[in-house]
A and B are shown apart, each in its own frame.
Chain A
Amino acid sequence: MNSVRVFFIGGYLAYRALFNWIHWSIYVPTMLGGPMFQVLFFAYIGRYAKLRSDEFFVVGNAVAISAVGGIFGMAMTIGGERWTQTLSSILVTPANRLALFLGRALPNLVNGVIVSVFGFAAGWLLLDFSLKPIEIPVIALIVIVTSFACTAFGTMIGAFGLRGRDVFFFANLVIFVFLLFCGVNVPLDALPGWMQAIGRVLPLTHGIEAARQIAEGATLGDVSGLVWTEAGLGACYAALGYALLRYFEIDGRRRATLETI
């Protein structure tokens, strides 16, 4: 019961405390405005390059922007606790670590979904893109799974925040690695083989591919393999992230480096 409380209440309070972006004056330009212009920017490059339709870019970027909240959110969760000197106080508690860290991941996952939905809505309003009503719940499911995978990856990045000094640098870099390697704006088969291979083990790639197929008329059954792969990758990264968090926590205690900024 205590773990459930740590998961929900702890996660909620940590999110409220650590993220100044939840104020509308920051949230709207940063989490909604910026990603919306990302969708428009790449859609227009796509038009200029005569590469693919608006749909390709709206789906690719709207799913991809779910990563922003997940990756940055988790990096900021760990890095922010360290920065505000509250990390030791948290880690000294006997609270269940799984509930502690996953509880902090949940708001970031939800945020990723909200940002992604806004990206789809912006694409629908401003570009040549639409979805059939029957496709919307399936796309929503894919976005949730993808956001989970990205948040899990973000947990892994965040874990390095227990050791490294500048985890935000890597979080920033990861967003752009995703943008290039995951077929967000360039069809995966147009990339060299080694880039495709990296893209296949990253979150996003399978989610984007599944969402694009749904937008083209496929059913959930047709893309279930892709969705399960995305979910499986997310589970692997979540497990790896948790293991790294535990390892760096124990190692940080041993070396007394938890509070080193």
Chain B
Amino acid sequence: MRHALRLFWTGWLFNVKNLTMSGFFMLNAAILPIFYATIAYYMFRTGARPGSLLYASLGAGMMGIWSSTLFGSGGLIQWQRWQGTLEYVIGVPTPLILVVLPMTIATASIGLYSVGATLAWGWLIFDLPLHLAHPVWFAVALPAAVLSLGLLGLVLASTFVLLRNANSLSNLLEYPVWLVTGLLVGLSLLPGWTRPISWVLAPTWGIRGIREAAIGGDPVLAIAICLGLGLIYLVIGHYTLRYFERLARERATLALA
């Protein structure tokens, strides 16, 4: 257990540092959410929702967490392949999930830059009031959302690798998930058939927990569902990762860059 925790901490820290040095990830995590937040501020301010700036900031921040997870975790195993490190990752005696999990959690953690950037930007430029309704719950909701998205990243990492053009799938999935999980749009506006999709996606509950903690409401249920979904993703990710590993060994496609 101690070994697993040490491995998690080292892997997480290394990958956070590694991703922080990447221009592409910092663009996605820290700069683009500011653009989205600014667009949303002006849209809400010019439209009929001028008091929704904190709502927009948090939504844009969560968009950044999803983008980091999607691009980071979705292409994770492929990148290990390109860098020639996948054989080592699989070859070590440690179970593969213990090596991959810190990486996917790290890609979601990078998204914390998004939340920080959009809140700071809103406060500096748009006089966004940073008063949190339930600061303690906010401090719980944010890591819960990151953890749950990181676990969703585990599912992405282990399923996208079976697809030949996973990167293009990542390009496709960015906007629709922002939309159906209600990051900047009330879910009641969307067609009814999108509702079940939103229920099984962690960003829906993650942003609900964060918003209810920040703006007001009862965030406990949303946080609990978010963490519960995370556990389900962990189980799915565990089996899909094992399946991928077995398939890659059987077909000798591990180093197929």
Interface of B is mostly: helix
- Closest chain A residue to B28, Cβ basis: A172
- Closest chain B residue to A57, Cβ basis: B43
Q: Which of B1-51 contact A (CB under 8 A)?
A: 23-24, 27, 31-32, 35, 38-40, 42-49
- Closest chain B residue to A46, Cβ basis: B43
Is B162 interfacial (CB-CB < 8 Å)? no
Is A194 interfacial (CB-CB < 8 Å)? no
Bound complex: CA A30 to CA B170 (Å): 9
**Closest beta carbon of chain B to A76's beta carbon, Å:** 14
Q: Which of A23, A26, A49 contacts B47, CB < 8 Å?
A: A49
Q: Which of B35, B39, B174, B189 contacts A48, CB < 8 Å?
A: B189
Q: Are B168 and A26 in contact, with the CB atoms below 8 A?
A: yes
Q: Are A50 and B172 in contact, with the CB atoms below 8 A?
A: no
Is A87 interfacial (CB-CB < 8 Å)? no
Bound complex: CA A40 to CA B47 (Å): 18
Residues of chain A within 8 A of B24, CB atoms compared = 168-169, 172
Residues of chain A within 8 A of B54, CB atoms compared = none
Given known contacts A34-B171, A186-B43, is B179 in contact with A41 (CB within 8 Å)?
A: yes
**Closest beta carbon of chain B to A113's beta carbon, Å:** 20
Bound complex: CA A29 to CA B32 (Å): 21
**Closest beta carbon of chain A to B29's beta carbon, Å:** 13
Bound complex: CA A29 to CA B31 (Å): 24
Bound complex: CA A187 to CA B169 (Å): 32
Given known contacts A25-B164, A49-B43, is B190 in contact with A172 (CB within 8 Å)?
A: no
**Closest beta carbon of chain B to A14's beta carbon, Å:** 21
Is A197 interfacial (CB-CB < 8 Å)? no
Q: Are B175 and A38 in contact, with the CB atoms below 8 A?
A: yes
Residues of chain B within 8 A of A46, CB atoms compared = 43, 47
- Closest chain A residue to B26, Cβ basis: A169
Q: Are B185 and A44 in contact, with the CB atoms below 8 A?
A: yes
- Closest chain A residue to B186, Cβ basis: A48
Of A147-155, A173-181, A202-210, which stretch is located at the interface?
A173-181
Bound complex: CA A168 to CA B186 (Å): 34
Is B192 interfacial (CB-CB < 8 Å)? no
Q: Are B172 and A45 in contact, with the CB atoms below 8 A?
A: no
**Closest beta carbon of chain B to A37's beta carbon, Å:** 3
Is A216 interfacial (CB-CB < 8 Å)? no
- Closest chain B residue to A126, Cβ basis: B191
Beta-carbon contacts of B165-199 to A below 8 Å, as 1s and 0s? 10011011011101100001110011000000000
**Closest beta carbon of chain B to A21's beta carbon, Å:** 8
Is A5 interfacial (CB-CB < 8 Å)? no
Given known contacts A48-B49, A51-B47, is B171 in contact with A29 (CB within 8 Å)?
A: yes
Is A166 interfacial (CB-CB < 8 Å)? yes
Is A47 interfacial (CB-CB < 8 Å)? yes
Residues of chain A within 8 A of B185, CB atoms compared = 41, 44-45, 47-48
Bound complex: CA A26 to CA B166 (Å): 9
Beta-carbon contacts of B104-142 to A below 8 Å, as 1s and 0s? 000000000000000000000000000000000000000
**Closest beta carbon of chain A to B124's beta carbon, Å:** 15
Bound complex: CA A176 to CA B179 (Å): 18
- Ordered by A's residue number, 24 sampled pairs between the chains whose C-beta atoms are within 8 Å are A25-B165, A25-B168, A29-B169, A30-B168, A34-B174, A40-B175, A41-B178, A41-B179, A41-B185, A44-B179, A44-B185, A45-B43, A45-B185, A46-B47, A48-B184, A49-B44, A49-B49, A49-B52, A50-B48, A51-B47, A168-B24, A173-B27, A173-B31, A180-B35
Taking beta carbons and an 8 Å cutoff, which residues of B are in contact with A? 23-24, 27, 31-32, 35, 38-40, 42-49, 52, 164-165, 168-169, 171-172, 174-176, 178-179, 184-186, 189-190
